[in-house]
Structure 1
Amino acid sequence: MNRIQANLLLVVIALIWGSAFVAQSQAMAHIGPMMFTGLRFLIGALVVLPFAAAEWRRQSAKGHALTRRDLAKIGGLGGLLLLGAAMQQIGIINTTVTNAGFLTALYVPLVPVLGYLLLRQLPHWSVWPGALACLVGAFLLSGARTLQIGVGDLWVMTSALPWAIHVLLVGRFADRMAAPFAVALGQFLVCGLVALAWGLMFEPANREAVRAAAWPLVYTGVMSVGVAFTAQVVAQRYAHAADAAIILSSETLFAAGFGFVLMGDRLNSSGLAGCALIFVSMVAVQVLPSLNTMRSNWNAPRER
């Protein structure tokens, strides 16, 4: 997979995640956030299980079985996934789909900052204004209108930190292990089992409530977790973490679109300006790094 293919796959992932905000919001009318998080990630684990099993057999046959250290890293990714997903889901209870989608984008500027501080990765210069544009876009949607941030907004904003660290590390770990499906399965199981245990202990639930939330659970479990999160692990083996963060932030555009069509959410002029900033930054971070390469190819002497 080359860089362009990986980036296109990341756009598809963002589309799926953006659509999932509606289902996540609807599920909260029936079951608690931790119960929902646990069940949907376990459904996602079932989706990826056959692929992980086949991958495990191939790796074992080549003598490349995962070590305990690898399993510990996968467990850490699962913990980050749990923190991000749980805080985001709790926040969705008390905010709109559109706000949740845009505020989730706050992880975007954190990725290049943490990448430099923790891993000494210096991204292309276009990432810095692009990340800042995403941050301003999120602020325009929720902060600039009222200068007030609700409790739900704070939960979603806090989820940005574990999301950022997860985006920074997931491709790095999967590439070193050469086992993207095993990485996906392991992190889903850790996240799903811990969240479900928490939900069973502290949240009211019964069969009727779970049955009423069946459609959001199936959609987010299969598509958002099983397909999109697994595809993220694959795509980020070939995409720079900072670039991936900006592309994945387009989920906020899709969340706003689905919220408008399916739930009646509306954007005012500042919200639309925020959409435009995130979209422009997403395009710029793809085009600008390629300009030097295109210019060099254009100026290179051609054989006659």
Structure 2
Amino acid sequence: MTRVQANALLLLAAVIWGSAFVGQVLGMAGVGPLTFTGVRFLLGALVVLPLAWRERRTLQAQGHALGAAELRWIALLGALLCTGVVMQQIGLMGTTVTNAGFLTALYVPLVPLLAWVFQRQAPHWSVWPAAAGCLGGTWLLTGASFGAASQLGRGDLWVLASALPWAVHVLLVGQVANRLRGAYGLACGQFLVCGVAASAAGLALEPITLQGLATAAGAIAYTGVLSVGVGFTIQVVGQRHAHPADAAIVLSSETVFAALFGALFLGDRLTSAGLLGCGLILASIVLVQTLPLLRARLANPS
């Protein structure tokens, strides 16, 4: 797979994820956030299971069977994925699709910061202005007043908090995929962990009815098959062949698609300040990924 093909896959994932915010909102009409997350991730695991099974048989024939250490990594990534998705899903009950899309993208500047703290990889200087830009963009997005922080609703705060598990997941997923020598087994395994954990919590904490599941069936099918089964899987596949900076830039376009689909299907609207805030956040995300790549290319023109 060429770099251009890999980036095209990542762009497709960003489009799917951006549109899935609408499905995540509509699905809440019938079930709670835990149940919705659990069912759609179990469905996503079923979608990718045949590919994971074939990949595992090939790797076993090559002498690369999964060990206890690899299974623990899959469990960790599944737990991180579950935490991020559930927090985001709860947040969508109290914020707009547009806000959720842009606030979720705050995980991108967090990734190099976490790499610096836990893996001793010093971040590029662009991380600091990008982080400030994201904070400024959030201020504009919430009304551009000096009391903006207090204007963040509970939904916004849940989505903001979800950026941390998302960032840790993004930091680790490429390393674990390389360790497992495959993308489909990792994708299926983490979906299964997420789906089982969220479903168990949903059974314990949320009312579940057949009528509610029927009401949410369309949203569950769309987000389970496309957002999880296709979107998250091609992210793992694409990131095995794309430059990390390219991948982050392309995937960050999810925020633009979330705003677009929110406007088209849910009537979301932003003020001029909100639009400026969205632009500032997106520019910060692109900045923190583009400048290190540009510096590397200037240092090595070949």
TM surpasses 0.5: yes
- 3-state SS of 1:38 partner: helix
Which amino acid is the alignment partner of residue 87 of structure 1? M
| Distance of aligned partners of 1:240 and 1:110 in 2 relative to their CA distance in 1, 3 Å threshold | farther
| Aligned equivalent of 1:90 | 90
| Distance of aligned partners of 1:159 and 1:143 in 2 relative to their CA distance in 1, 3 Å threshold | farther
CA contact (8 A) 2:249 2:286 kept: no
Post-superposition offset of 1:239: 4.6
Post-superposition offset of 1:246: 4.7
**Aligned-pair Cα RMSD in Å:** 2.3
Q: Deviations over 1:136-194 (max 9, x none)?
A: 33332126356111111111111111111000000111012212100000000000011
CA contact (8 A) 1:127 1:242 kept: no
- 3-state SS of 2:109 partner: helix
| Aligned equivalent of 1:40 | 40
| Aligned equivalent of 2:297 | 293
CA contact (8 A) 1:106 1:135 kept: no
2:75 equivalent to 1:75: yes
| Aligned equivalent of 2:206 | 203
| Distance of aligned partners of 1:245 and 1:222 in 2 relative to their CA distance in 1, 3 Å threshold | same
Correspondent of 1:267 among 245, 270, 278: 270
Post-superposition offset of 1:248: 2.5
Post-superposition offset of 1:10: 2.5
CA distance in 1, matches of 2:130, 2:64: 39
Q: Deviations over 1:207-241 (max 9, x none)?
A: 11101111110110011101111112122334565
- 3-state SS of 2:94 partner: coil
Q: Deviations over 1:272-293 (max 9, x none)?
A: 1123224434555347724763
- 3-state SS of 2:19 partner: helix
Deviates more, 1:101-110 or 1:236-245: 236-245
| Aligned equivalent of 2:142 | 142
| Aligned equivalent of 1:235 | 238
Which amino acid is the alignment partner of residue 180 of structure 1? A
Segments ≥4 residues shifted beyond 6 Å: none
Which amino acid is the alignment partner of residue 178 of structure 2? D
CA distance in 1, matches of 2:139, 2:5: 31
Q: Deviations over 1:30-78 (max 9, x none)?
A: 1000000000001100110010000001001101111110011000000
Q: Deviations over 1:83-142 (max 9, x none)?
A: 000111011111111111111122122111001111122455445544543443333212
CA contact (8 A) 2:104 2:160 kept: yes
Q: TM-score, normalised by structure 1?
A: 0.89
2:119 equivalent to 1:119: yes
Post-superposition offset of 1:242: 6.4
Which amino acid is the alignment partner of residue 82 of structure 2? L
| Aligned equivalent of 1:170 | 173
Deviates more, 1:120-129 or 1:199-208: 120-129
Correspondent of 1:257 among 257, 260, 283: 260
Percentage identity across paired residues of the two chains:
57
CA distance in 1, matches of 2:134, 2:249: 8
CA distance in 2, matches of 1:136, 1:238: 34
| Aligned equivalent of 1:11 | 11
| Distance of aligned partners of 1:166 and 1:295 in 2 relative to their CA distance in 1, 3 Å threshold | closer
**Where does the alignment leave 5 or more consecutive residues of structure 1 unmatched?**
none
Which amino acid is the alignment partner of residue 202 of structure 2? G
Post-superposition offset of 1:259: 0.8
Which amino acid is the alignment partner of residue 42 of structure 2? L
Which amino acid is the alignment partner of residue 257 of structure 1? L
- How many residues align? The count is 298
Which amino acid is the alignment partner of residue 91 of structure 2? G
For residues 268-283 of structure 1, the aligned pairs below 5 Å read 268-281=271-284, 283=286
CA distance in 2, matches of 1:53, 1:83: 26
Which amino acid is the alignment partner of residue 9 of structure 1? L
CA distance in 1, matches of 2:118, 2:246: 17
Post-superposition offset of 1:256: 0.9
- 3-state SS of 2:66 partner: coil
Which amino acid is the alignment partner of residue 38 of structure 1? G
Q: TM-score, normalised by structure 2?
A: 0.90
